[in-house]
Structure 1
Amino acid sequence: MLDSVIADLQLGGLTAGLLTAAPAACFALFGSLAPKLALKRGPEVIVLGAMLAIGLGLLLRSAAPSTPAFLFFSAVALSGIAVGNVLMPVLVKRWFPDRIGRVTGLYTTTLSLGTAVVAAVAVPVNEAFGGNWRFGLGIWALPALVAAGVWAAAYMGVRRLRPSTQPAGPMPTAVRMSARVNPWQSSTSWWLAVFFGLQASAAYICMGWLAKIFSDNGLSDATAGLLLAIVMGVSIPLAFVIPNLAARRPNQGPIVIVLGVCGLLGHIGLWISPASGSFVWAVLLGISSCTFSLALTMIGIKSRSSVGVIKLSAFTQSVGYLISIPGPLIVGILHEITGGWQASIGFMTAQLLVQIFAGYMAGRSGPIEGPVPGPQANPVPQRLQGT
């Protein structure tokens, strides 16, 4: 519905470009604020605030009378998404320390389903409101506000369960180590951030350019849209399976390689014969796109406590989303310069090779806290870590 927004608010080309680039920028900026907020107030209440920001931002931007107001309230909604993105792995670690893969798979699958459903029905819903983009966009504040009610109930439950005083005794070793760790100085953090950023870049490239690659090679717009839907649909069931596999393995590197090889085969197919084997290439690229759920699972298992996961999640996603910004722009520039897609696909392939290497290194690396110092550390059962 971007064309309707541009026409009504009279957005210039630069402003429209800023609007499409805003998600990654806001995720990087606001995601970095999540750790301090969560450590000070608790992640549950911060996620509740994030859901309210999403709901109110979406609602108020639909009534925005001007371009600055529209951009501001869009940023408010995106800030809530950014904070929620960072803290969901933290809550999984905090509430389900022995089921990280299963729960991560559940919420990433739900996320994929939500994305697919909204993409499919947004235009019909808008048309049901007479084509008024303000109603068509504002209606999506309702699910966020409903979710805020659920999180409010969860927060009140957590408050009742939380003891008024902390138990006596030494701080658990894992929490003490996590409190001192600096993700900027951890090789695991950097490998994971590069992996996360490049897979996000690949996702933005796919959503922004893949349908056009197919249509420019002779396929109809409807077929190109269907192929993009296949890419997104393939990842839905695998988003539940892969986190379970990853959480059970001490080394996630082999999973990274398998997903990466599928992506490389898809790129080779786009290079050689994008139209004739389009269905196969779409399936392969869909399998490769499951790196998002894999990266979130790795965030949850690459620290020994929820304190460490807060720091790692904020670092990985903030740095990662900054890394993701240039990719889609470069693909578009290369296409404009060359008039074809060969150079763009070559760039996508080179980026994927770096992504595979970074993901392999992140998967084989240990936790960000390093090895537990000495046998006298008395390791804490995983279920008690971060409490």
Structure 2
Amino acid sequence: MPVKPQLERSRVAAPVAVTGGALLAVAVVLAALNLRPAVTSVGPLLDRAQADLGATATWAGLLTTMPGLCFAVAGLAAPALARRVGIGAAVALALGVLAVGLVVRVLDGPLVVLGGTLVASAGIALANVLIPVVVKDNFPARVGLMTGVYTAALQGGAAFGSAATPPMDDLLGGWRAAWAGWAVLAVAALVVWLLVLRRLRGGAGTARQERGRSLLRSPLAWIVTVFFGLQAYVAYIVMGWFPQVLMDAGVSRSDAGLLQGLMSLLAVPISLVVPAIAARQGSQTWWIVGLGAIGVVGTVGLTVAPSAAPLLWAILVGVGMSVFSLALTTVALRARDGADTASLSGMAQGFGYLIAAPGPLLFGLLHDLTAAWTIPLVMVTVVMVGQSVFGGLAGRNRYV
């Protein structure tokens, strides 16, 4: 007797699942587009903001370092928040916090800029940790593909943030409006995410996240964490300081913003293709090592002959930075289920960003001490080599 109603319910439920999955994919992409402009929009206008506020070089170093520190703290708290309110609601909350922080940080002086950046970074940190879990739970048969799509959107947002901010500065009349303008994108993503929650209420979009086991005693989890931290160390130096490095090499402000945007944009096609291929293979080691080697060539070129071929160096560094997509892929592939993915993602991004946090500040300090970019760039090159070593180990086919 109950067979017929059950079949009818299945026929009704099927199109909802398909629609919900497509809408969830769109929501993931829109959320990802917001996870870098708050950071990459700072570099091209950092000197103007510093001069307008009468701020010190230490303030500039704190501004570029703060996202990494906040990503560490909030990243460690993300799994607990998801367990309390549900993972979908937690992502929506993260986008709302991001939008508020982007507006608040331009309302007053140096301390308010730091405070607003802290709030915006907290929102980014939560989404950083939780979206890979959404991908693992909702697209289990296409983890590599969806991780690539998510990473491509994230890198595209990074490129858009650095390339579009200088024109926004001219168009909107200053760095404050240019930085605050990115809140519009965050609000748009929040609206779509709320639509996902309403359509999937009670399903995967709002389900509470199960508690994963502690991975603090897992050597592989620490290898993944160090790999993630070292690639983030390099990435936040590039996003915060490379426009200044390029401008000191004779590149104009607008071209420096475009070149930094190009570094991120190059990762988009790589992120769409490489993770999907690498995820189907037993090991991702050689993909990670190969991308890292290309990045090393770029930083060496920028160190030895910065003005000789800035476009080439930017391309090589950008290709090397696309290893981020494989860092996220290894987080998903080294865990067996969503609960362990949440634990590994929280650990890798929490402690990983703690490793990365001193990078921009140390880079600026070395520049101040030496009055040149050579020593700071040598440091970046050494970190890239370490990233390849730990990434190679993290890419082997094992589970935490």
Structure 1 residue aligned with 2:188: 146
1:75-131 CA-to-partner distances (Å, cap 9, x unmatched) read: 222111110000010000011011111111112111222222232222333333333
Shift of 1:240: 1.1
Aligned match for 1:43, one of 76, 83, 87: 87
Q: Secondary structure at the match of 2:308?
A: coil
TM-score for both structures, normalised by structure 2: 0.80
Q: For 1:1-387, what aligned pairs fall within 5 Å after superposition?
A: 1-3=45-47, 5-6=49-50, 9-62=53-106, 64-131=107-174, 133-161=175-203, 181-217=213-249, 224-364=256-396, 366-368=398-400
Query: Following the alignment from structure 2 to structure 1, what is the Cα–Cα distance between the partners of residues 120 and 135?
Result: 23
C-alpha distance 119-70 of structure 1, shift in aligned 2 (>3 A):
same
Query: Following the alignment from structure 1 to structure 2, what is the Cα–Cα distance between the partners of residues 320 and 239?
Result: 20
C-alpha distance 164-223 of structure 1, shift in aligned 2 (>3 A):
closer
Query: Following the alignment from structure 1 to structure 2, what is the Cα–Cα distance between the partners of residues 148 and 365?
Result: 36
Structure 1 residue aligned with 2:35: none
1:170-216 CA-to-partner distances (Å, cap 9, x unmatched) read: xxxxx9xx956322111111111111111111112223444444554
C-alpha distance 2-202 of structure 1, shift in aligned 2 (>3 A):
closer
Query: Following the alignment from structure 1 to structure 2, what is the Cα–Cα distance between the partners of residues 162 and 212?
Result: 44
Q: Secondary structure at the match of 1:343?
A: helix
Query: Are the aligned partners of 1:192 and 1:316 in contact in 2 as well (CA < 8 Å)?
Result: yes
Query: Following the alignment from structure 1 to structure 2, what is the Cα–Cα distance between the partners of residues 127 and 223?
Result: 14
Shift of 1:310: 0.7
Aligned-pair Cα RMSD in Å = 2.9
C-alpha distance 346-83 of structure 1, shift in aligned 2 (>3 A):
same
Query: Are the aligned partners of 1:191 and 1:358 in contact in 2 as well (CA < 8 Å)?
Result: yes
Shift of 1:343: 3.0
The percent identity for this pair of structures is 37
Shift of 1:5: 4.2
Query: Following the alignment from structure 2 to structure 1, what is the Cα–Cα distance between the partners of residues 147 and 323?
Result: 13
Number of corresponding residues? 356
Amino acid at match of 1:198: L
Query: Following the alignment from structure 2 to structure 1, what is the Cα–Cα distance between the partners of residues 205 and 154?
Result: 33
In structure 2, the gaps of 5 or more residues are 1-44
In structure 1, the gaps of 5 or more residues are 167-174, 369-387
C-alpha distance 4-225 of structure 1, shift in aligned 2 (>3 A):
closer
Shift of 1:281: 2.9
C-alpha distance 189-144 of structure 1, shift in aligned 2 (>3 A):
same
Query: Following the alignment from structure 1 to structure 2, what is the Cα–Cα distance between the partners of residues 35 and 319?
Result: 14
